[in-house]
Structure 1
C-alpha cells in the first residue's frame, strides 16, 4: 500500500518505569505490588524473572537516549514510578527526584521531547494492602501523587498523562484473575475501574490547579492513554451479538473516551449495569468529579482488535453476569507467540471512530508493537537479529495510519512499544518487542536489530519527502 505521513508527524518510543528502570530497591524506592508478588511467588514469572530487573534503564538512560537520538526519534514516553517519587507517608523521596531530573536532562540533551505518564499498574505496596483501587483512600492518594509530580517537574515536562491502559488492572487482577492476587470477581473489577476513573479526574484537576498557579510549562498538556481495542462481531450479527458489542465497546472504549472528551460516563452502559446488579459504588458528588476528567489529547495503544459475540451462558463460573464471549474470526492472522490477532486496519477504524464520534479530540498512537519469543534463532552470522516480521508489522500499521489521516483522522504521531527489549510483567522477557536487543547475560548490553536500522531510514525518508 505504501505510506507518506505529514512532515510534523512525530515518531518516538514508548516504555514504562516499572518495566525498564530495574533498581527496585535503590534510590529510596519502596516496594510496589509487583515487587510484593515477585518476593512471594517468583515461580509465577517466566523463567523466574520478577520485577527486579527491568532493562536497567536506571543506569543506562544516557546510553538509551543517545540511541533514541541516533534512530531519529523526536519523543519518548515513559512513566514515573509512584513508589520511587513518594514514600509511605506521601513525602517526596529526593533520591527519586534526582533520578527523574537526570532522565529529563538527558532527554533534553538529545533533543528528545519527554512524555511523562504517572501510572502503569505499579501500585505502592502500602496502598495495595489497604485495598488498592477498591479503597477511595487510594484515589485521594493518587491525586496527591499527581500534585507532587506536577509541582516538582512541571516546568520541565510539557506532556503529561494520568494513566496507561486503565482498563487492564480491573481485568487482569479482578475480572480474570491472571495477576496477583488472582481474583475473579466482576463486580469488584467494576468498582476498581470506577475508582481509577475518579483518580484520573482528580489528577486532571490537580494539573489545572498547578497550571493556574503558574507551576507548569506554558504549553503543558494533559492526556490519557488506553488500549482502545476496536470491537468487531460476526458478519451477520444477531440482536444479541450487537448488544454484546455495545456493552463491550461501552466498558472498554466509550467509558474512557466519554470521560476524556466529555467529562462523564456513558449513560447507556450504567443503565445496563444497574439492570444486572453490577453498578459500582458511587457517592454523591462523583458526577462533579467526572467533569474534571476532560483532557487535551489521547494516547491510543493498539496491538489487536476485540472480536466478540453474544455469550453462550448468561453467567460465568463465578456467578457473575457475562456481556460477551470471544468470537474467533476465520480469516484472522495471528501472532502465535502472543496469541494476539494482527489486524492493522483496526488502527484506521479507530481513527474513523474518533473523527465521527469525538471530532474535537486529537490522538496519537501511544503503543504498537510485536512480541516474539526466542528471537536469538533469527540472528545472522554477525549476531544481528533479522526481524523482518517486525518490519512488516510496523509497515502495515503505518500504512493504515497514513490512510486514516488522509481520510480525516487527527492522528499526530506514533510511538513504538518496547523499542528496547524490556521486562513484561509475569511474562518476564519471554516475548521481545524491541528494535534494540537486550542481553540479560552480558550487563544488559544493547544491540540494534535489523528493524532499528529500518526505522531510522523510514523516519529520515518521511522527513525528507
Structure 2
C-alpha cells in the first residue's frame, strides 16, 4: 500500500520572505540615509565574507518586476519584505518623497502581479544617525521609531493588509550587544537586556499607532498587525537536573516567552524579570511602561524557525566577560547538522512550537514566517543545463512542512509558510556565503536569476498543497 501523502489546508498560504536591507541595493540613492550595515561596510569591509558589503543586496530595486513575475510563476501568492526606515524618512523624521515613491511602486507592481505584500517595519537596519544618539538604549530612539511607524501606517495604510512591527527582536540585543558578532561588537549582558526592553516598548507603541490609524480610517479595516520573531524551542539532556531545567526556563524565557507573553498578554514574564534582577540586571523601567506594554497585543504572530536551542546547567554563573550566564550549550549526540551554517536541522522543533502555542497561547494565530537552509558552494553542483542541483533543500522544506501539517492536525493555529530566501540574497556579514534560494543569483553575471532544480518541487507543493 502506497504511503499516504500529507496535505496542507486549502486556505494555507505559501509565500516567500525577504527584507529591504538584504535585497534592495541602491544604498545611497533616492535620499536613503546611511544605516548600520552601510556604516559597518564602510568602516571594515573585511568583516564581510569575500568583502561583499551591504551595498548591492541582490539588486532587487532594479529587478523587482522580474522577481515578482518569478514568484508568481513559482506558484506563490504572497511575500514579506520590509520598509527601510533609512529610506522612508529623512534625518528630521519627515517623509522622503523618493523613498515613499519606491515603496508605492513596489506595492502597486505586486498587486498587478497578483501578490499580497506582508510589510515589516524593522529588520535590524537602524539609521546610523539614530544609533549615534544611543540606538535602542535611548528612549529618544524608541519615540523616533513610534513616529516612523505612524508615518508608514498613514502613508501606505490603504495598500497593505498585513503589517509587522519587528523581525526577530531578540537578535539585535544578542548579536550587537551581548555576543559581539555584529557592529559595534559589544559584550554587555545588561545593555543587551536594556535594548530588548526598549524594543518591547517600541513594538507596543507601534501597535498602538496601528490601532489609532485604523480607527481613524487611515489603515484599511481588514488590516492586521503582528510581530515576527525567531523562535528556538529549548531542550536539555535526558534525565535533567533541576539546574538543567532552570537553564531551559531562563533561555526560553529570554528568547521565546518574553515575546509570546508580550504579544498575547501585553506584559513580560515576571519570573524572567525576577531572575534578571537577582542576577544583577537592572532594566530601565519607568512609570507608565506597564501601560505601554499592555498595548503590545497583536492580531497574529510570525515564527521564524531554523533550529532548536539545547542547553544545560552553566558551569559558572558569569561568563568570561563577567556577564550573567544562565546556561551552557548542550551538544545533543544525535543532532543532524547543516555543516555550512553550523545549525542543527530539527523539524520536530516546529511541531513542538505549534503544540506550545496551542497549549499556552490557545487563541494565537501564527504562521511560519521564515524557514530555509543555506548551503555554501552550491554553484559547484550543476547539471548539464547549468542548474544548481539541490535535493537537500527539498528534503529540508518537505520535513518542516510535514511537521507543520502534523501540528495543524493536532490543533496548532498555523495559517501559512514563508520560505526564507526564495531568491538568493545578501545575508549580513555572511554576505552570499550560504545560499538559501530556490532561485540562484549569479554575482558574476549581473545578478542574473536562475531557478535551481528544487524550484520545480516548490511549485508543485505551492499549487497543490500536497507535500510530496
**TM norm structure 2:** 0.98
Q: Which residue of 2 aligns with 1:215?
A: 218
The question of 1:126 aligning with 2:129 is answered yes
The question of 1:338 aligning with 2:341 is answered yes
Q: Which residue of 2 aligns with 1:172?
A: 175
Looking at structure 1, the residues matched to 389 and 221 of structure 2 have their Cα atoms a distance apart, in angstroms, of: 44
Looking at structure 1, the residues matched to 254 and 379 of structure 2 have their Cα atoms a distance apart, in angstroms, of: 39
Looking at structure 1, the residues matched to 347 and 57 of structure 2 have their Cα atoms a distance apart, in angstroms, of: 29
Looking at structure 2, the residues matched to 76 and 49 of structure 1 have their Cα atoms a distance apart, in angstroms, of: 25
Looking at structure 2, the residues matched to 376 and 19 of structure 1 have their Cα atoms a distance apart, in angstroms, of: 20
Looking at structure 2, the residues matched to 26 and 309 of structure 1 have their Cα atoms a distance apart, in angstroms, of: 48
Q: 1:35 aligns with which of 17, 35, 38?
A: 38
The question of 1:316 aligning with 2:358 is answered no
Contact 1:305 1:341 (C-alpha < 8 Å) held by counterparts: yes
Q: Which range moves more in the overlay, 31-40 or 452-461?
A: 452-461
Q: Which aligned pairs between 1:47-446 and structure 2 lie closer than 5 A?
A: 47-446=50-449
SS of residue matched to 1:241: helix
SS of residue matched to 1:126: helix
SS of residue matched to 2:6: coil
TM-superposed deviation, 1:279: 2.6
Q: 1:327-363 CA distances to partner (integer Å, 9 max, x unpaired)? A: 0000000000000000000000000000000001100
**CA, structure 1 residues 318+376, in 2 after alignment: closer, same or farther (shift >3 Å)?**
same
Looking at structure 1, the residues matched to 391 and 231 of structure 2 have their Cα atoms a distance apart, in angstroms, of: 27
**TM norm structure 1:** 0.99
TM-superposed deviation, 1:250: 0.6
Q: Which aligned pairs between 1:14-29 and structure 2 lie closer than 5 A?
A: 14-29=17-32
Looking at structure 2, the residues matched to 140 and 101 of structure 1 have their Cα atoms a distance apart, in angstroms, of: 25
Contact 1:166 1:193 (C-alpha < 8 Å) held by counterparts: yes
Q: 1:164-187 CA distances to partner (integer Å, 9 max, x unpaired)? A: 000000000011000111100000
Q: Which residue of 1 aligns with 2:465?
A: 462
SS of residue matched to 1:92: coil
SS of residue matched to 2:465: helix
Looking at structure 1, the residues matched to 297 and 401 of structure 2 have their Cα atoms a distance apart, in angstroms, of: 28
Contact 1:77 1:116 (C-alpha < 8 Å) held by counterparts: yes
Contact 1:7 1:463 (C-alpha < 8 Å) held by counterparts: no
**CA, structure 1 residues 463+111, in 2 after alignment: closer, same or farther (shift >3 Å)?**
farther
SS of residue matched to 2:81: strand
TM-superposed deviation, 1:454: 0.9
4+ runs of 1 displaced by more than 4 Å? none
Looking at structure 1, the residues matched to 467 and 202 of structure 2 have their Cα atoms a distance apart, in angstroms, of: 43
TM-superposed deviation, 1:418: 0.4
SS of residue matched to 2:163: strand
Contact 2:178 2:189 (C-alpha < 8 Å) held by counterparts: yes
Looking at structure 1, the residues matched to 331 and 387 of structure 2 have their Cα atoms a distance apart, in angstroms, of: 36
Contact 2:118 2:161 (C-alpha < 8 Å) held by counterparts: yes
Calculate the aligned-residue CA RMSD, in Å.
1.1
SS of residue matched to 1:322: coil
The question of 1:448 aligning with 2:457 is answered no
- Size of the aligned set, in residue pairs, is 465
SS of residue matched to 1:442: coil
SS of residue matched to 2:15: strand
Q: 1:212-271 CA distances to partner (integer Å, 9 max, x unpaired)? A: 110011200000000011000011100000001001111100000000001000011011
